[in-house]
Amino acid sequence: MSTLPPIPAVFESRKNKIIEELAIPDEEYTDASPKGSVDEGVRDLIRDINALPGLVTTSSCAGRISVFLEGRKKSSAASQLGETQGQSKEPIESVDQQQRQFVPTGGKGAGRWLYVSHDPFVRSNTQSDGSFPLHEQFGLTPGNGKPPAGKPLRLVRFHFDPLILHIMTATLHHAQPVLSAASASGFRESGLQGLRCLEGEEGPSPVVAVRSSGLSLESVIGYCDDEDGTVEDPVIHSLVTEEYLDMLIAMSNERFSVNVERRERFRVGLLDACTPGQTGKGKGKPADWEDPAVRRERKKMEGLMRKKLIEAQKNQEST
């Protein structure tokens, strides 16, 4: 690795502030994500990155399975109708018919999460009626697979999202090894977050987004026809079968495995590239560095132990 330029004082100030926030205990720390704290799966990676000079993480997601109900359509029909009446001779009824049947896709600020997990899905052995356990877990009511026509619908979307990581760097030179390690490990859609970082060394610190859209999975699995929000607890109808949901879960769990492998490759590659005066695989790593294969086996055993503990607790509660 070539000699890097000095780290600006403004970056050190920003990094120190972020490190202080991450040091807050989990029960007191909150962020803007649905979970509200740093995911367990990326804590070791974040620790290693933040220990490197010129780098600090600003946001992260280890990967997740989620079911999301879109928000209601914004009430802008009145202004649109007024403008249309002033420019066209079409009656109001025809304008209404031209409106979209589906509500625009919502984000974190609109709609609500029906299910979120940052770990592979583990099917519970206990079922209320033995018929639709996945529907129950996702808050869906089994339907006939046919959405009603002629009215706006709030769609329910099943997602698998792979790792996404934002890393603030001191300079563009510090961003280069991050981008190289991300691309080499399979996160090929990684890049600089915006172009303001090109304003100069004294300007904003460049932020690298580590991501891979190739592992993403999305499917519409249901709908809610309470478009105006007048019903306090509306029924959320399913458009798919229990077997289809089971297939989505199996696909997502497979992608979780690929996601973990890529994450570990990125971790090793970045540590190799950002260690001053060291070259070659396996050199210059922190004292508590753990081989990826050993760490995967350890995490697997820990997951099995957690699963057995949960099953034992459920069996004890049922008896």
Tell me which range, 67-76, 133-142, 218-227, is most confidently predicted by mean pLDDT: 133-142
The model's pLDDT over 182-198, given as tens digits with 9 standing for 90+, comes to 999 999 999 988 766 55
Q: CB neighbours of 19 closer than 8 A, spacing ≥ 6? A: 50, 56
The domain limits of the chain are 9-71+106-288
Q: pLDDT: is 6 or 187 the higher one?
A: 187
Please determine, for residue 34, whether its predicted confidence score (pLDDT) is greater than 90.
no
Tell me which range, 25-29, 109-113, 119-123, 160-164, is most confidently predicted by mean pLDDT: 160-164
The model's pLDDT over 239-264, given as tens digits with 9 standing for 90+, comes to 999 999 999 999 999 999 999 999 99
Q: pLDDT: is 47 or 304 the higher one?
A: 47
pTM: 0.70
Tell me which range, 121-125, 269-273, 310-314, is most confidently predicted by mean pLDDT: 269-273
Tell me which range, 29-33, 171-175, 195-199, 260-264, is most confidently predicted by mean pLDDT: 260-264
Provide the percentage of residues in the chain whose pLDDT is more than 70: 66
The whole-number pLDDT of residue 33 equals 52
Mean pLDDT of 301-309: 71
To the nearest whole number, what is the mean pLDDT of the chain?
76
Please determine, for residue 138, whether its predicted confidence score (pLDDT) is greater than 50.
yes
The whole-number pLDDT of residue 129 equals 53
Q: pLDDT: is 289 or 12 the higher one?
A: 12
Q: CB neighbours of 15 closer than 8 A, spacing ≥ 6? A: 50, 56, 168
CATH topology of domain 9-71+106-288: SSo0622-like fold (3.30.1960)
The model's pLDDT over 66-122, given as tens digits with 9 standing for 90+, comes to 999 988 765 544 344 344 444 444 433 333 433 444 444 444 446 889 999 999 998
